[in-house]
Amino acid sequence: MTPPQFERLGGTFASRVTDLDITRPLDTGTIGALDAAMAEHAVLIFERTGLDEEGLHRFARSFGELDIGFKRVSRAPTRFKYDETLDMSNVGVDGAVVPPDHRKIVGNIANQLWHTDSSFQKPAAKYSFLLSEVTTSWGGETEFADMRAAHDRLSVRTRERLAGLIAEHDALHSRLSLGDTHYDEAQRQTFPPVDWPLVRHHPDTGAAYLYIGAHAHRIHGMTVPEARMLLMDLLEEATRAEYVYRHAWNVGDLIIWDNRTTLHRGRAFDLSERRELKRVSTLDEASAA
Ligand code: OGA
Ligand code: MN
């Protein structure tokens, strides 16, 4: 196989991959090259792939074990072949667009907060693979921000302040903050909060990155208001518009992002318009401890 080509779209990260047909089974050398590319680019964009659910699984599975994510709480019924296929659409099991007060829409809107997938569990998600199937006439883009670059822009004083700090991440925090409080005790117990250092390091490159986003809600040893303000300040600085890569979807586009080193969010769209994407994610088993 000819080696895939990478074309940088964002400032410090996010590249388009060309010269590679991911609908076919790939050899281990190619998977290894993409894995190495993820360590460098953190977000890879494959345009108009023609992938289906089967192909999406085969491709993602070559990078690791798959995550089930928030589905364990929502217990949402699926339209898909695999349990690990996460339905990021505004469409119900009957295939129709759901009304704005449907349970599912909370998830769509919570995804419009900057976040990293499954940081509320151990292991968290490593890579997410998001495949676009139906796009909207306006909005509905997905944005990404590089948390290595965000870390590197911090002042020495701020780095010193963050050293050794541990944040608590909670699955329901972003949803509760949107006024969605309809969770019973069993659902609340499904994901006990987990701790992650605010500053982590990529195991292969050693790069320092900020691990923040909508699931982080407390910092050990700090009052809640002080922690929330620090988290909000870090997030604001890390996601300044000039550092963000915004992707306007074509049908068939697939994006892989590294949930360790990037944050992402969906952008608003007209909820009455059909928007369909499927996601699968691998687990970050190396940092399960
Ligand atoms: C996701 C996600 C955002 C979007 O799939 O994990 O956050 O734009 N998606 O749908
Ligand atoms: Mn997400």
Ligand 1 pocket mutation pick from 88, 136, 247 by most atoms within 8 angstroms of CB: 88
User: Long-range CB contacts (< 8 A, 24+ apart) of 221-229?
Assistant: 221/165, 222/165, 227/167
What pLDDT was estimated at residue 70?
74
> Mean pLDDT lowest for which of 111-115, 182-186, 267-271?
182-186
Separation between Cα atoms, residue 133 and residue 50, nearest integer Å: 9
What would the CATH number be for the domain defined by 5-284?
3.60.130.10
Question: Atom 4 of ligand 1 has which residue's CA nearest to it?
Answer: 266
Write down the domain spans for the chain. Answer: 5-284
> Are the C-beta atoms of residues 67 and 57 closer than 8 Å to each other?
no
What are 172-186's pLDDT values in tens digits?
Answer: 999 999 999 989 999
Contacts of 105 (CB under 8 A, 6+ apart): 90, 98, 99, 271
What are 214-256's pLDDT values in tens digits?
Answer: 999 999 999 999 999 999 999 999 999 999 999 999 999 999 9
With 0-12 CB in 10 A as exposed, 13-18 as middle and 19+ as buried, what is 182? exposed
Which is the closest atom of ligand 1 to the Cα of 108? Answer: 10
The CA 219 to ligand 1 mean position distance, Å, reads 26
As a whole number, the mean pLDDT across the chain is 95
> Which ligand number lies closest to the CA of residue 134?
1
What are 68-95's pLDDT values in tens digits?
Answer: 877 767 777 789 999 999 999 999 999 9
Q: How confident is the model at residue 1 (pLDDT cuts 50, 70, 90)?
A: low
Q: What is the value of pTM for the model shown?
A: 0.96
What are 186-218's pLDDT values in tens digits?
Answer: 988 998 999 999 999 999 999 999 999 999 999
Is any ligand 1 atom within 6 A of the Cβ of residue 281? no
Is any ligand 1 atom within 6 A of the Cβ of residue 113? no
Which is nearest to 273 in space by CA: 107, 90, 49? 90
Question: Atom 6 of ligand 1 has which residue's CA nearest to it?
Answer: 117
